[in-house]
Amino acid sequence: MNNRNISRDNANPHSNSGNYPSVNRAKFLRELYTAYTAELESISDCLYYGLILSEYDPDMSEILENIAIDDMKHFKKLGQLLMTLGANPAINTKFRAGGANMFPSAEDKRTDSMASSVADYLIAQKSAAVDKYSNILKDAPDISIMNIINSITSDEQKHRHMLMNYCMYI
Matching CATH number, 23-90+107-168, of 1.10.3470.10, 3.10.129.10, 1.20.1290.10, 1.20.1260.10: 1.20.1260.10
Neighbours of 9 (CB within 10 A): 11
Contact call for residues 153 and 49 (beta carbons, < 8 A): no
pTM for this entry: 0.78
pLDDT in tens, 118-145: 999 999 999 999 999 999 999 898 899 9
pLDDT digits (tens, 9 = 90+) for 88-121: 999 876 555 555 555 545 555 455 677 888 999 9
> How is the chain split into domains, by residue range?
23-90+107-168
Consecutive H or E run containing 26 = helix 25-53
